[in-house]
Amino acid sequence: MRDLHELDQYRIDLDNARLPNECFGGVGELDLSKNGAFVIQHHGILLKVLAACGKGWDHVSVSTPYRIPTWPEMDFIKRLFFEDDEVAMQLHVTPKDHINNHPFVLHLWRPRSKLRSIPLPPKELV
């Protein structure tokens, strides 16, 4: 994940995000270079973005007030929050593992360890 201080112009106070610190990996001092809440306008749509780094994962959630984010919106956020050489993914977990705390949110995930990379299909299939 990028150093999120590069996105400070979009940052909002975590108190305004109405989320407990547990959403960002626990209690204590929060590393704002890898965690935070942001509001970013993209083609007239306000995207609420929560970024967190914890338990070996980078995680970015993206929501809008009235609908699920579109592919171009998710791609825009991926490129804003992750380095060009980093692969991030959306996951479709089994129904028993699915948690839905917000009807209009999608997530991007990336394992932090360079030893655990995301397997990719052959380029001609992507």
The tens digit of pLDDT for each residue in 24-74 reads 555 456 788 889 999 999 999 999 999 998 888 899 999 999 999 999 999
Q: What is the mean pLDDT of the chain?
A: 85
**Where do the domains of the chain lie, and which CATH numbers do they carry?**
4-112 (3.40.1720)
Q: Which two tokens stand for residue 23?
A: 């959403």
Q: Does the pLDDT of residue 23 top 80, yes or no?
A: no
Check pLDDT > 70 for residue 97: yes
Range in 33-37, 80-84, 112-116 the model is least confident about: 112-116
Contacts of 3 (CB under 8 A, 6+ apart): 33, 34
Residue 78: CB atoms within 10 A of its CB come to 18
- Inter-residue contact 91 to 109 (CB < 8 Å): yes
Inter-residue contact 58 to 110 (CB < 8 Å)? yes
